């Protein structure tokens, strides 16, 4: 755990340069706008430890799979989002010495991420090896208003010298992914173009043939006045730079504004991409830095209006939760259904920027509550669009007749992952995708999603479960053998309770959906049935039998659901009784020892109890929580939130808060020593849920928004914004009361602490906390 980030309500601040944490800072201070993102690399040259990272959403490369021992069914490649052209670079030489913070002596360094406005800035003074002392102030953003553009304002003050400053803005597309499996580069140059004060590179990805056009244009000012420059162009493969000299005297302030654009062939024709980039760049250049910045910061303020959480009485918590919301909003904006949410967003390369079940399980609730409905809907359509690939994926594993198995990890719908115990066996993910449909409709009421989209996906997934489940003659029950649950500290187990639950639930829900569609959208239903050769009568017979006769491991003595067959053969010793030197287990125990232990990586049975909370009485929740929580090690960043929410609803407030804290500042404090690889974006949605679902007690049941809040004793009050079916609500929870304001023109049906209330448009109400 690190503790170098200054606590502040709205800002993330590094005071004094910490080169030893630079990789971490580069992750934490990252910028993004859903379509492109940029690690907090320095604009000027830096020869110290750095991971240069510019990423363009959706632009991926199928990197040949690397394994120790091949198993049948492994995918041939791992599609990964690519490190793309560096558009932020500006090399600076002062009287022939390179400005490089690894080689200068540095004074009063401050790096600051203004989360409210989406601005990254730096200030420092540096004394170079030639003793020139320079002050640098830089600010940059990737525009939330114009998703293809970004801008930098970079100023140098000649504090104690005069002479010549060489300035060299550049674009470098000759980059590679740190995690390249075979140390290959993934880009090839298509063309480069130079103009006075601007330049472009069009690069193409190998194999996938995406084109990305990166452009830069700059303005230079001396003491605030524009300066004409006469740059010298240099090009080499996949690289262009412009170099010019400015003569300064002591006290002069030299400023360069650099505008960058990234256009991809996902949104533009390859033939016109360069012309189009030229236009976009001209537009933002003409607009100018301040105007561009203004529309960007206004977009951010608008986002915060819908998603902010205000915490009074705990600056660290306030900074932590806003950082999470900020990153989630940077990563996915929902304007395009073929994009999704990588576990590291645009902050690093780990996990390939691919889509996991994290999207449905953790992220969807965040966007449901904080963004317009189409944002969540696009997350669902993403899976709808990949249905045929999921069916192909099922076929590769021997399934037939339209059985869809969604991949564990994907960009384009094909499976990328290659650990058999995950790839082939962690199939509960398929249920999460079905649950996402249900959850979306439950929240939004948008049942019309089913006919054109949702049902087809549910049908594919139900067909998969139907084939994957077998009948045990021995038990005279249906069973599901050889799976891995969300708790990846068990592999290849039989009858994982959660997976069995997801399967049976999906079948039941699909049967309900069929009834609903037959009543309400008969024609659409029939046309999907025809398209997918679905013979309801014959196919659903076994579905219904499975619903009736599925085996669920259960302990009669303790009256708890068992994570899997044979779970009680393990030695059950609470984590608290382990010598702490064993923790985290994944760093201290060999894999087999972890597997045969009782310890749980992340919510498994409890994941179901969270998702299907209302099906079980409080005693059942209590018993299962009390059995599983003490043996859960939470060694996934996705783990604590579910436990925290369950603890909250069981009235275990201290436990809920303790669990919330385990991920609240995960990246700001580099809790797991891995933030240098990028931030834990999808886990951030879990932390948000801990606050809103956990402390706020938010649920949507029977077309009502339920709130059942408590306030952690460490806080004075907290306030969160949620949207619900057109209403925009601010919920303020303090020790004595809950105050709810409806900032919209739509009334809302609420259930506050068990009491049904209607909150009219524009009104507010208060309920005592007791």
Q: How far is CA 284 from CA 169, 217, 290, in A?
A: 17, 10, 10
**From the CB of 147, what's the least distance to a copy of itself, in Å?**
34
The CB-of-586 to a copy of itself minimum distance in angstroms stands at 7
In the chain, count H helices and then E strands. 21, 33
Kindly write out the interface string for residues 381-410 of this chain, putting x where it contacts a copy of itself by CB under 8 A and - elsewhere.
---------------xxx------------
Burial class (CB in 10 A: 0-12, 13-18, 19+), 516: middle
- Among the residues of 450-604, which ranges form H helices? 455-468, 497-520, 522-531, 536-549, 585-588, 591-596
Cβ-proximal residues to 629 (8 Å cutoff; 6+ apart), any chain: 606, 643, 647, 655
Q: Which of residues 411-450 bind a copy of itself (CB under 8 A)?
A: 418-421, 424-425
Number of residues engaging a copy of itself in binding (CB under 8 A): 49
Interacting residue with a copy of itself among 64, 71, 716, 758 (CB under 8 A): 71
Nearer to a copy of itself, 570 or 653 (CB): 570
Q: Which CB, 204 or 425, lies closer to a copy of itself?
A: 425
Least distance in Å: CB of 363 to a copy of itself? 24
Nearer to a copy of itself, 265 or 564 (CB): 564
Torsion angle in degrees (nearest 10) through CA of 188, 190, 194, 200: -70
State the minimum distance, in angstroms, from the CB of residue 595 to a copy of itself. 5
Binding mask 313-352 for a copy of itself (x = CB under 8 A): ----------------------------------------
Length of the chain: 770
Site membership for a copy of itself, residue 566 (CB under 8 A): yes
Annotated catalytic, 360?
Answer: no
Site for a copy of itself in 191-230 (CB under 8 A): none
* Among positions 110, 135, 176, 570, the unique one binding a copy of itself when judged by CB under 8 A: 570
Q: Alpha-carbon distance 395 to 390, whole Å?
A: 9
Is residue 749 at the binding interface for a copy of itself, with CB under 8 A as the rule?
A: no
Give, as ranges, the residues between 579 and 618 that touch a copy of itself (CB under 8 A): 586-596
Decide if residue 182 touches a copy of itself (CB under 8 A).
no
Please report which helix (H) or strand (E) contains residue 395, including its range. helix 387-396
CB of 667 to a copy of itself, least distance (A): 23
Strands 54-64 and 36-38, by their bridges, are antiparallel
Give the one residue of 4, 19, 48, 65 binding a copy of itself; rule: CB under 8 A.
65
Nearer to a copy of itself, 471 or 516 (CB): 471
Name the packing angle between helices 455-468 and 536-549 (round to 10°): 60
Q: DSSP per residue over 427-489, as a string?
A: THHHHHHHHHHHHHHHHH--GGGIIIIIHHHHHHHHHHHHHH-EEETTTTEEE--SB--S-TT
Residue 464 CB, shortest distance to a copy of itself, in Å, is 13
- 43, 257, 349, 488: which one is catalytic? 488
Closer of 492 and 744 to a copy of itself (Cβ): 492
**d(C-alpha 491, C-alpha 601), whole Å:** 12
Q: Could you say which residues in the range 450-489 bind a copy of itself, by CB under 8 A? A: 470-475, 479, 481-482
What's the min distance (Å) between Cβ of 594 and a copy of itself? 8
Task: Tell me the C-alpha distance between 56 and 612, whole Å.
Answer: 37
Query: 3-state secondary structure string, 626-669?
Result: HHHHHHECCCCCCHHHHHHHHHHHCCCHHHHHHHHHHHHCCCCC
8 A C-beta contact, residue 41 and residue 31:
no
The residues carrying an active-site annotation are 488
Which residues are at the interface with a copy of itself (CB under 8 A)?
A: 65-69, 71-73, 396-398, 418-421, 424-425, 470-475, 479, 481-482, 491-495, 565-566, 568-572, 586-596
């Amino acid at each position: 755990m690190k503790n170098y980030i200054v606590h502040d309500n709205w800002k993330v601040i590094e005071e004094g340069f910490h080169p030893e944490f630079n990789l971490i800072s580069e992750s934490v201070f990252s910028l993004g706008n859903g379509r492109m993102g940029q690690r907090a690399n320095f604009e000027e040259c830096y020869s110290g430890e750095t991971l240069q990272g510019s990423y363009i959403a959706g632009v991926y490369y199928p990197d040949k799979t690397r394994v120790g021992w091949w198993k049948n069914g492994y995918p041939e490649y791992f599609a990964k989002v690519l490190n793309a052209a560096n558009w932020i670079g500006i090399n600076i030489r002062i009287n022939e010495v390179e400005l490089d913070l690894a080689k200068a002596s540095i004074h009063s360094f401050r790096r600051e991420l203004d989360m409210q406005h989406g601005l990254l800035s730096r200030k420092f003074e540096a004394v170079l090896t030639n003793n020139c002392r320079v002050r640098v102030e830089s600010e940059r953003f990737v525009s939330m208003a114009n998703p293809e553009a970004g801008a930098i304002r970079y100023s140098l003050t000649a504090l104690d010298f005069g002479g010549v400053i060489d300035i060299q803005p550049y674009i470098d597309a000759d980059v590679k992914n740190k995690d390249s499996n075979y140390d290959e580069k993934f880009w090839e140059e298509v063309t480069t173009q130079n103009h006075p004060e601007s330049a472009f590179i069009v690069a193409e990805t190998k194999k996938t043939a995406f084109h990305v056009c990166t452009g830069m244009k700059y303005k230079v000012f001396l003491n605030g006045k524009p300066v004409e420059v006469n740059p010298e162009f240099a090009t080499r493969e996949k690289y262009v730079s412009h170099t010019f000299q400015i003569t300064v005297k002591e006290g002069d302030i030299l400023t360069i504004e650099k505008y960058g654009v990234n256009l991809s062939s996902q949104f533009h024709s390859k033939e016109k991409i360069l012309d189009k980039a030229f236009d976009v760049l001209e537009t933002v250049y003409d607009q100018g830095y301040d105007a561009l910045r203004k529309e960007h910061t206004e977009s951010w303020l608008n986002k915060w209006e819908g998603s902010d959480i205000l915490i009074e009485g705990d600056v660290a918590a306030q900074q932590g939760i806003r950082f999470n919301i900020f990153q989630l909003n940077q990563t996915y904006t929902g304007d395009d259904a073929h994009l999704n949410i990588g576990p590291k967003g645009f902050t690093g390369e780990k996990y390939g920027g691919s889509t996991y079940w994290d999207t449905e399980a953790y992220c969807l609730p965040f966007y449901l509550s904080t963004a317009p409905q189409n944002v969540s809907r696009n997350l669902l359509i993403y899976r709808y669009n990949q249905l045929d690939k999921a069916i192909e994926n099922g076929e590769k594993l021997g399934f037939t007749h339209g059985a869809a198995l969604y991949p564990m990890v994907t960009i384009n719908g094909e499976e990328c992952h290659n650990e058999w115990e995950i790839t082939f066996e962690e199939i509960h993910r398929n249920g999460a995708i079905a649950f996402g449909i249900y959850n979306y409709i439950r929240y939004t009421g948008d049942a019309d999603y089913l006919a054109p989209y949702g049902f087809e996906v549910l049908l594919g997934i139900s067909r998969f479960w139907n084939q994957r489940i077998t009948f045990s003659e021995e038990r005279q029950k249906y069973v599901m053998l050889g799976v891995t649950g969300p708790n990846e500290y068990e592999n290849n187990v039989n009858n994982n309770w959660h997976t069995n639950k997801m399967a049976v639930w999906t079948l039941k829900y699909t049967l309900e959906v069929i009834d609903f569609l037959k009543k309400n959208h008969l024609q659409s239903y029939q046309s999907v049935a025809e398209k997918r050769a679905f013979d309801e009568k014959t196919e659903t017979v076994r579905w219904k039998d499975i619903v009736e006769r599925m085996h669920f491991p259960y302990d009669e003595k303790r009256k708890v659901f068992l994570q899997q067959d044979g779970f009680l053969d393990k030695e059950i010793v609470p984590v608290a009784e382990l010598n702490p030197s064993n923790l985290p287990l994944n760093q201290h125990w060999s894999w087999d020892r972890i597997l045969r232990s009782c310890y749980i990586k992340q919510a498994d049975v409890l994941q179901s109890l969270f998702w299907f909370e209302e099906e079980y009485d409080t005693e059942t929740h209590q018993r299962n929580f009390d059995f599983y929580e003490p043996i859960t090690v939470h060694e996934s960043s996705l783990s604590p939130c579910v436990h925290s929410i369950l603890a909250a609803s069981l009235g275990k407030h201290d436990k809920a808060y303790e669990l919330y804290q385990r991920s609240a500042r995960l990246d700001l404090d580099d809790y797991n020593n891995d933030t240098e690889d990028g931030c834990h974006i999808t886990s951030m949605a879990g932390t948000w849920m801990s606050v809103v679902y956990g402390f706020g007690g938010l649920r949507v049941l029977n077309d009502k928004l339920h709130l059942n809040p408590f306030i952690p004793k460490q806080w004075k009050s907290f306030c969160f914004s949620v949207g619900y079916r057109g209403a925009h609500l601010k919920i303020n929870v303090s020790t004595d009361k809950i105050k709810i304001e409806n900032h919209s023109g739509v009334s809302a049906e609420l259930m506050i602490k068990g009491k049904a209330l209607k909150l009219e448009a524009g009104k507010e109400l208060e309920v005592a906390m007791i």
